[in-house]
A and B are shown apart, each in its own frame.
Chain A
Amino acid sequence: AQSVTQLGSHVSVSEGALVLLRCNYSSSVPPYLFWYVQYPNQGLQLLLKYTTGATLVKGINGFEAEFKKSETSFHLTKPSAHMSDAAEYFCAVSGTDSSYKLIFGSGTRLLVRP
């Protein structure tokens, strides 16, 4: 069964620093990969998704992620953190069965220091 691992339940960066949130999935190549963001007391909002084609995917708010099949990774990056980026981030992959259910990682809370 497909699984997702997000390394680091909390990541703290200074404002203006590089943001790197890590996501690895199990060895079966999923059809789709996603990053979602959750601000306090809100639902999840799509940041970006990978389906096919270019392995570097650009999303909203300056975020991007690169699909690396050889490393089974889909890490999320942003060159310069902003205070408004403080939130919880979830990596998700679609299942490889016909239902295309989404399987979520446990989440990474990003803290941005002034």
Chain B
Amino acid sequence: NAGVTQTPKFQVLKTGQSMTLQCAQDMNHEYMSWYRQDPGMGLRLIHYSVGAGITDQGEVPNGYNVSRSTTEDFPLRLLSAAPSQTSVYFCASSYSGRDPEAFFGQGTRLTVV
């Protein structure tokens, strides 16, 4: 049972480039979310989805897009990378909104130069 799988684990981008961070879960969870982790700031919610075809913004959505075409996948797109987006990104999934215990992927460490 793989749980939540994120790819890539590491990425270096140049300012202005775009990329997609991949996230897949095999637990049939309804709820998926993306967080960014910065030193001293904990985890901040970027976008989340309560089911296939439904997404919404979190605390820090600017510069990121998401879509949820299947239950399993929830990719995060950086439209035009900026140095301020240098961070560690975590994808998480939960069984449902009524049981929000989150299962996390291993993270993607992104550096924008």
A residues adjacent to B (C-beta < 8 A): 4, 6, 9, 32, 34, 36, 41-46, 49, 90, 92, 94, 98-107
B71 within 8 A of partner (CB): no
B53 within 8 A of partner (CB): no
Contact partner, B33, options A42, A44, A101, A105, Cβ 8 Å: A101
Q: Which of B11-19, B37-45, B79-87 contacts A (4 or more CB under 8 A)?
A: B37-45
| Docked complex Cα distance between A92 and B43 (Å) | 10
B residues adjacent to A (C-beta < 8 A): 4, 31, 33, 35, 40-45, 48, 50, 56, 58, 90, 92, 94, 97-98, 100-107
| Docked complex Cα distance between A96 and B112 (Å) | 35
Are B42 and A106 closer than 8 Å at their CB atoms?
yes
Are B42 and A104 closer than 8 Å at their CB atoms?
yes
Q: How far, in Å, is A64 (CB) from chain B's closest CB?
A: 17
Are A94 and B106 closer than 8 Å at their CB atoms?
no
Residues of B within 8 A of A49 (CB): 101
